[in-house]
Amino acid sequence: MANPSLLILAGDGIGPEVMAEVKRIIGWFGEKRGVTFDVSEDLVGGAAYDAHGKPLADETMAKAQEVDAVLLGAVGGPKYDVLDFSVKPERGLLRLRKEMDLYANLRPAQCFDALADFSSLKREIVAGLDIMIVRELTSGVYFGEPRGIFPDNEGGRFGVNTQRYTTEEIRRVARSAFELARRRNNRVCSMEKANVMESGILWREEVQWVHDNEYPDVELSHMYADNGAMQLVRWPRQFDVIVTDNLFGDILSDCAAMLTGSLGMLPSASLGAPMANGRPKALYEPVHGSAPDIAGQGKANPIACILSFAMALRYSFDMGEEATRLEKAVETVLADGVRTADLMGPEGGTPVSTSGMGDAVLAAL
């Protein structure tokens, strides 16, 4: 059987630095665990724009469709802020999500014990936090038509975007959430603004339908998204799995991520329908952005990107044990007090660079 294939798109800012450490880890799995990947690399975001005048070349898109999983670093940077909307770095990422039809974005918000004091929230509120946010990723206001900026009749302009969801778009992401809940604590909370938006009413009804017809054993609740933001801040451990749309998911998952206090630690997986080989289309990326302010200085924390690879092992390659091995190694390193700059708090620790963190994880493996 052919080796599983991985396409690495390191992207912009700290993307290439953190990805360099992941590549060493991939190498380790090949050497020590006999888990060998066919790895190819390509450009995305600003880096792709610099090379091709667009944030994702068609050939790269085609490659992404063929591989078993894509690993992405980060896109964007101030240098590209002046670009036209259609060629901004983000469009490369959005194109991947859309054309690969990666409708379920899994964003765990997990608080690592060794880092609980980093949170701006009290330790007793966040210690042990372990939420899974499932964000719809291929529809809603991100992709709805009509969209654009148009002249109006009074010499001004108006901007339009369209929030649009279909029955099937809602049902399939709801299924992802219920499946995950079954393997976790069996609870799903769905968030929308059904009190204000008809698309939110449809969302609520369809999630309820999937529950009643297919997952009656999972506990389902509904919450308005504004209350959701409040409850995340007030008492985040009340949640197990949260399912929500693309735009609410963008904001709520970032809010949840920040609760943990260590953004540099959080991975994500974006999954689509199963391919011919049974594996889902998949893209893995850290939740943090390209952090242009620290790019190229060896300061970035590679753990979020490393844990994204762990998610790939689990969700794309059915290697749950290898994923756990990698996650445990990360925990060991943290418990040992190994710290990149972003993790350096008042209680100190051993300061390391990006590659120093990579060394430590490899040693722990």
Q: What is the largest CA-CA distance in the chain?
A: 69
DSSP symbols for 280-297: EEEEEEESS---GGGTTT
* Helix axes 246-259 and 225-234, enclosed angle (nearest 10): 10
Residue 152 interacts with which of ligand IPM, a second copy, none, CB < 5 to 8 Å by class? a second copy
Residue 12 is a catalytic residue: no
> 39 to each of 31, 43, 63, 71, 184, how far by Cα in Å?
14, 14, 12, 10, 32
The answer to whether residue 145 forms part of the interface with a second copy (CB under 8 A) is no
Binding segment (CB under 6 A) for ligand IPM, from list 41-49, 89-97, 233-241, 258-266: 89-97
Residue 284 CB, nearest approach to ligand IPM (Å): 12
The answer to whether residue 245 forms part of the interface with ligand IPM (CB under 6 A) is no
Q: Are 174 and 190 in contact (CB under 8 A)?
A: yes
| Structure-block tokens of residue 241 | 């799995």
Q: Known binder of ligand: residue 46? A: no
354, amino acid identity: T
The answer to whether residue 363 forms part of the interface with ligand IPM (CB under 6 A) is no
| Structure-block tokens of residue 109 | 């918000």
List the x/- string, 90-119, binding to ligand IPM by CB under 6 A: x--xx-------------------------
Q: Are 38 and 6 in contact (CB under 8 A)?
A: yes
301, amino acid identity: N
The active-site residue out of 193, 215, 281, 342 is 193
DSSP symbols for 91-107: HHHHHHHHHTT--EEEE
Residue 227 CB, nearest approach to ligand IPM (Å): 8
The answer to whether residue 83 forms part of the interface with a second copy (CB under 8 A) is no
Q: Which residue has the tokens 């108006």?
A: 158
Residue 226 is a catalytic residue: yes
Residue 233 interacts with which of ligand IPM, a second copy, none, CB < 5 to 8 Å by class? a second copy
Which residues are the active-site residues?
A: 142, 193, 226, 250, 254
Give contact residues for a second copy (rule: CB under 8 A): 76, 85, 88, 90, 94, 120-122, 125, 141-142, 144, 147-149, 152, 154, 156-168, 193, 195-203, 225-227, 229-230, 232-235, 247-248, 250-252, 254-255, 257-259, 263
